[in-house]
Amino acid sequence: MQIDPSLHTKEDNYKLLTNLVVPRPIAWISSLSQSGLINLAPFSFFNAVGSDPMYVVVGIGRRDSGEPKDSARNIQTSGEFVVNLVTEDLLAAMNITAAEFPPDESELSAVNLHAAPSIHLKAPRLAEAQVSLECKVPVSAARHQHAIYRRSGDVSCRRSPAGSAIAHQQLRAHRSARFTLNILSHHRSD
């Protein structure tokens, strides 16, 4: 079977692609607007695409009006963002943040979640996320409605106030960019 995407609608092409390429992880991106408002939005066109240097790619479409989404605008302006990985306990909140919120309203308050400071970025991470990747954008290659983002640098994990044991490791992968991987493991510390 051969399918020519030019003969189908955008919606049909989307359905085809999302049903063929599975499973797809969700990038729950936190970013900061120029006014300091935290934006939190999920994107299912996300994956790791390289390890040396470390790269992630996130496909962020546009609004129906053709305007860039808040996440894309924030990333293009600041050059940084945090990918918070979604676990089962956060699914309901993630689904709520998938709705279009006004640019002057933070999704965090709507889902009663909390921001935590990032180690290397102004953009915060999601405190409840078990894994957060701090990403800087040293390379942005505009292609149609998307850009390619690279992450590379430090891996840093901390001990949480709740007593969860958290590993700590530093990796240097690239001089000009860094990411932070916060891995929470729920081991009791005695």
Residue by residue, pLDDT tens for the chain (190 residues) are 788 888 889 889 888 888 888 888 889 999 999 999 999 999 998 888 888 777 888 888 888 888 889 999 999 899 899 999 999 999 999 999 999 999 889 999 999 999 999 999 999 999 999 999 999 886 544 343 444 444 433 333 222 333 222 222 222 222 233 334 433 333 333 3
CA–CA separation, 67 vs 87, rounded Å? 30
Residue 3 forms part of a structural domain: no
Q: What is the rounded distance in angstroms from the CA atom of residue 91 to the CA atom of residue 94?
A: 5
Answer whether residue 111 is part of any domain: yes
Any domain includes 12 = no
Task: Supply the pTM of this predicted model.
Answer: 0.71
**Distance (Å, whole) CA 86 – CA 89:** 8
Please name the residues in contact with 125: beta carbons below 8 A apart, sequence gap of 6 or more.
Answer: 30, 82, 84, 115, 116, 117, 118, 132, 134, 180, 182
Is residue 48 domain-resident?
yes
**CA dist., res. 110 & res. 93, Å (int):** 9
Q: Is residue 161 part of a domain?
A: yes
Q: In this structure, are residues 46 and 27 in contact, taking their beta carbons and an 8 Å threshold?
A: yes
Find, among 14, 18, 43, the residue nearest to 28 by Cα.
43
Identify whether 13 is part of a domain: no
What's the total number of domains in the chain? 1
Q: What is the DSSP string of 15-46?
A: HHHHHHS-----EEEEEE-TT--EEEEEESSE
Residue 155 maps to which CATH number?
A: 2.30.110.10
Domain membership of residue 114 (yes or no) is: yes
Q: First and final CA of the chain: distance in angstroms?
A: 59
Residue 169 belongs to what domain range? 26-190
Q: Is residue 145 part of a domain?
A: yes
